[in-house]
Amino acid sequence: MINEDKTIQLYNEHCIGLGEKVRIYGQYHPIAVGKKKAKSLLLTDSKGQKIRQTIKLSSKRNDFFIVIKRSDLERVKEYQLRLVSDIIFDNLKLHFPFNSIPLKPGEAAVTTMLQNYENRVAEWIDYHLKIGFSKIIIFDNNSTDQTAKIINQLKDDRVIVIPFNYVAINPKPPVWDDYQRIQLCIGFDVLKSYYQWVALIDADEFIYIPDQKPQSIGEFLNQRKYRWFRAITMQSILLTNKNDNDEIENNILDLCRFTNLKPKYTKIILNSKRAKYLKFIKSPHQIKGQRLMPMDKIYHAHCWANERLDYGSDFVEKDELLNLKCSS
């Protein structure tokens, strides 16, 4: 929910129950509101009466969350969000879509956000289930194609798609990153009590463990030498196809086989036991207390097809991921 002035966004459609407490995420406009004023945000009942709560603001970003006691949900049905003396949202309802998700204890899970991935999401899901992930929660951000329908047709309770139809309150680059940060926070909060490891990757990225046979992400991550780090951090290579107009139909690993092998950036797999009390995820690329992994142990491939990354003369063919797909 975003107000008319586009200065406050509340993620009230995706509230989270954490034990005896409830967490509601939001964002404020960094200039129009600012951190000092944002500290006065107040959730009240529909009559303006105060509710016991705590507000936490990110030190680096314009993100916040409000914590209230679960017991207050029983007596309060509708809320108001106030900024100083102004009512930002009236007749506000809180929704808990994760209460109905089947969650069973497991070793590793994935949370991601995507948009319009109908021609490649099934392959990506199949790959990561085969390497051993127990749960995948996909936040669908305003897709206009059949992405959600295709995911639901898989009828696999290990894979959940959740509508996440928000827009940025500060519409200037990087827009996608603004609400992706909140998606990562929500996804991790939902999964951390059930899964020791939570991967924060995109739906065009494929995790690969070169020497693990058979492939099992949980077995790899749960080695004693990795348990004490807040995150395992993977380096990335970019893969692309030779042509610029290939038809994409869940065949990314067949097409995107060419790379210059140079690491470009990183992505993290959070250790829930070590990062359990993490308040905000500022970036999916690095975190204090991480273990940066060499590429002969684990890495991820980011597949950019059809001119997003131009094929170069220095590229070589790398078919490890393709072989894994074919042999699984």
The pLDDT score that the predictor gives to residue 248 is 93
Task: Tell me how far CA of residue 248 lies from CA of 1, 62, 122, in angstroms.
Answer: 34, 37, 12
The pLDDT score that the predictor gives to residue 231 is 97
Secondary structure class of 78 (helix, strand, coil): coil
pLDDT in tens, 38-50: 999 999 988 888 8
Band of pLDDT at residue 122, cut at 50, 70 and 90: very high
| Rounded Cα–Cα distance for residues 73 and 24 (Å) | 13
Buried b (16+ CB within 10 A) or exposed e, 251-267: bbbbbbbbbeeeeeebb
- Domains detected in the chain: 8-98 (2.60.40), 101-327 (3.90.550)
* Average pLDDT estimate for 201-220: 89
The pLDDT score that the predictor gives to residue 308 is 85
Band of pLDDT at residue 130, cut at 50, 70 and 90: very high
What token pair was written down for 296? 């002969």
* Average pLDDT estimate for 82-109: 91
pLDDT in tens, 239-258: 999 988 899 999 999 999 99
pLDDT in tens, 195-209: 999 999 999 999 999
pTM as predicted = 0.94
pLDDT in tens, 251-283: 999 999 999 989 999 999 999 999 988 999 989
Pick the more confident residue, 118 or 60: 118
The pLDDT score that the predictor gives to residue 326 is 65
The pLDDT score that the predictor gives to residue 174 is 64
Band of pLDDT at residue 215, cut at 50, 70 and 90: low
Q: Which residues contact 67 (CB under 8 A, 6 or more apart)?
A: 21, 22, 23, 24, 53, 54, 55, 56
* Average pLDDT estimate for 10-39: 93
| Average pLDDT of the residues of the chain | 91
Query: Residue 328: pLDDT above 60?
Result: no
DSSP secondary structure code for residue 192 in this structure: T
What token pair was written down for 97? 């879509």
